[in-house]
Amino acid sequence: MQPFSSTTVSIQRDTRAWQFQVWASFAVAVFLCATGLSWLPGETLDRAFMVMGYVFCLSTAFMLAKFIRDNQQAEATTSRDVPMWRLVVWGSFFTAMGLTGWGLVRMEINDAYKAFLGVSWLFLISSVFTLAKTLRDRHEADLIEARLQGRRAARQEAAASASAE
């Protein structure tokens, strides 16, 4: 019979307060951006351009956060993304940010309104990165916990079959 090895494994998880803060920040950022864009004065085409720009920035920020995290985890292995995908991810992010910033600067609206839209837009992008990290951390902690539970169950099965013999 093999000796039973007991090790304590600590799984790092975010507190509920942190998770609430992250989700609340993201919700506030989305609300501020939506409010600013819905009351945006000017041409309909300008408003449509800005909404598309904000959505493009939002999606590319999530994509960039996932790309960076995946590549950071893949450093130990050889399963890294191809250089063309790296160009697509970074290029999309900078294109979205650049075009949205250009559209905001060139719009003929009050400077205070531009400042509101700009700050809410940057708040949205920063909250996306924090939200993406928090969601990924929770997913990884869940995977580790599931693996540990599977190992415990396998050990218990092995111990039960060994004692039955």
The long-range contacts involving 76-84, CB below 8 angstroms and separated by at least 24 positions, are none
Q: What local confidence, expressed as pLDDT, does residue 5 receive?
A: 54
Q: What local confidence, expressed as pLDDT, does residue 117 receive?
A: 95
Closest CA to 123 of 40, 50, 63, 57: 57
The CA distance from 92 to 78, in Å, is 25
The CA distance from 35 to 32, in Å, is 5
Q: What is the DSSP string of 16-41?
A: HHHHHHHHHHHHHHHHHHHHHHHT--
Please identify every stretch of the chain with a pLDDT value under 70, giving residue numbers as ranges.
1-7, 76, 78-79
Q: What local confidence, expressed as pLDDT, does residue 1 receive?
A: 46
Q: What local confidence, expressed as pLDDT, does residue 7 receive?
A: 66
Model pTM above 0.85:
no
Measured over the CA atoms of residue 27, residue 22, residue 91 and residue 66, the dihedral's sign is: negative
